[in-house]
Structure 1
Amino acid sequence: MKMNFMKMKAVKILLFVGTILACSFASAYAAVNMEPINAFFNRGVSFVLNGELWQPKDQAGKPIAAIYYKGSNYLPARALAEALKIPIDYDATSQKIYIGGKPAEKTPIFAMPMEIDNIYAILSKDPAETLVNGKQFKQVLKIDQYGDVNITLNRKYKRLVLNAAVISPGEHEVEFSLYNAVDIAGNTASTILEKHSVSPEDNEKQLIFHVEGLEKIKIHVQSPNLNPYIYARILDTSYFDNGD
């Protein structure tokens, strides 16, 4: 019983010391990097964004007021970036806020949330199907007639770098068309934003689509002459990024 009491006491001491250290580090960080100011919430100011009244909100959807300090009104960077459809990321390790996305960050296409036409477009890891023009890949999206893939971006990226190929016995050029797939796109959902093509002679071709400001996109894959047998592949080397 005495041993258990001693163990519990030791645990409490360690927790207490850990709490003190954590508070010390936080206090040290605040002392070096944070400076107190006298500011006010300005609840009288309103905002007009692109001609319409706009209410800034926090991540929980609650309205937030501007902070008035030394003659200027301030808002959180995230609220402004999201309203202006600019990607924003926070790196806690480096204490950096990236407005416009992290420059060198690449996200593989198949790591993204996506909806695939599973009748004519199928994700495959079968080695027989991921062997594309003599080169072995780990995963491909195979489209043997025509297909759509919808990908959710949440405005985090500027480019889609799409690596694609036409394999044997494909004899026809294949078009890859970019659409805005967000629910509120309305009539613009049927408008092609960009179109690129891949021919059987290309072996493997890199297509660059500009997706800045888009929340959700659709890539439609089809032969321009509507031939149903296209044998197209989207390769796992495709990715999203924010440019060079």
Structure 2
Amino acid sequence: MKNKKMGIILAFVAAVLASSYGSAYAAANLEPINAYFNRGVSFVLKGELWQPKDEDGNLLTAIHYEGSNYLPVRALAEALKIPIEFDAVSQKIYIGGKPAEKTPIFAMPMEIDNIYAILSKDPKETMVKNKQFQEVLKIDQYGDVIFTTDRKYKRLVLDAAVVSPGEHEVEFSLYNASDNAANTAQTILKKLTVKPDDDVKKLIFNVEGLEKIKIHVQSPNLNPYIYARILDTSYFDNGDPAATAGSKEAPSK
């Protein structure tokens, strides 16, 4: 113990995620192991020296066990800008977001152009294509809406339409609105079009890995009046992959 700091790891990942386990769960699922803190190993992340830390800013040390070095999965996920969440009920660690979970678009942190893009709950304005909705984002000329996603989602699914008296096609363009986007902030990542004679149209954008996004809405010919609507049935999600089974630490070896 003096020359080699031998530790007993009891579900290292769970400890880092600040989980609380009852004695019954521990007895059935936690197994003690003998391992070493490997204070000699260092990490280089994308060409730069990297020091893993926990949520409180405390330095973390790799653990050496049976030939491999291990680090808490949260430290690695956050360093690689991958969302991570622990579900204490199911005892699952979700890396990359919870599958099939939907977050309604208007429940998200958002900024809108209040001159030409306005949230409305007026029943006359929420009647779209003969269907009544609770809330819409109405964009009668052109507008921007910015969402803070914090890399938690893979997709933005927009339900959109052009309503009467709209006569023109409307483009919905996705941009990276992160503070670190630099020159790429002007690059259109994806552009989709809705026509006046379309019913409510589902537009799917890939937003994986993005911290903040912008949806710009306008006519491709810069026609002044477009009468576009984004509906409250729109949402962010992570697709529908099979749920991640179990949890493991990621080896750094």
More off after superposition, 84-93 vs 135-144: 84-93
Q: 1:52 aligns with which of 44, 48, 52?
A: 48
Match of 1:213 in 2: 209
Write the letter of the residue equivalent to 1:144: D
Distance 1:132 1:46 in 2: 58
How many residues are paired up?
A: 220
Matched, 1:140 2:136: yes
Segments of structure 2 that go 5 or more residues without pairing to the other structure are 1-20, 241-253
Matched, 1:235 2:240: no
Relative contact order, higher structure (CA 8 A, sep 6+): 2
Write the letter of the residue equivalent to 1:158: K
Identity across the alignment (%): 80
**Would the alpha carbon gap of residues 163 and 70 (structure 1) be closer, same or farther in structure 2, given more than 3 Å must change?**
same
**Deviation readout 1:87-138 (Å, 9 max, x if unpaired):** 2221110101111222121111111111111111111111111111211000
Distance 1:140 1:49 in 2: 43
TM-score for the superposition, normalised by structure 2:
0.83
Write the letter of the residue equivalent to 1:82: E
Distance 1:187 1:62 in 2: 35
Distance 2:153 2:166 in 1: 32
What is the CA RMSD across the aligned residues, in angstroms?
1.4
How far off is 1:50 after superposition?
2.3
Matched, 1:121 2:117: yes
Match of 1:150 in 2: 146
Write the letter of the residue equivalent to 1:56: P
Distance 2:163 2:116 in 1: 16
Distance 2:23 2:160 in 1: 52
Q: How does 1:66-215 map to 2 (within 5 A)?
A: 66-215=62-211
Secondary structure at the aligned position of 2:75 is classed as helix
Distance 1:55 1:117 in 2: 41
Distance 2:51 2:189 in 1: 30
Distance 1:116 1:43 in 2: 49
Write the letter of the residue equivalent to 1:86: I
Structure with the higher fraction of residues in helix conformation? 1
Segments of structure 1 that go 5 or more residues without pairing to the other structure are 1-24
Write the letter of the residue equivalent to 2:163: I
More off after superposition, 82-91 vs 121-130: 82-91
- Asked which structure has the greater CA Rg, the reply is 1
TM-score for the superposition, normalised by structure 1:
0.86
Distance 1:120 1:58 in 2: 44
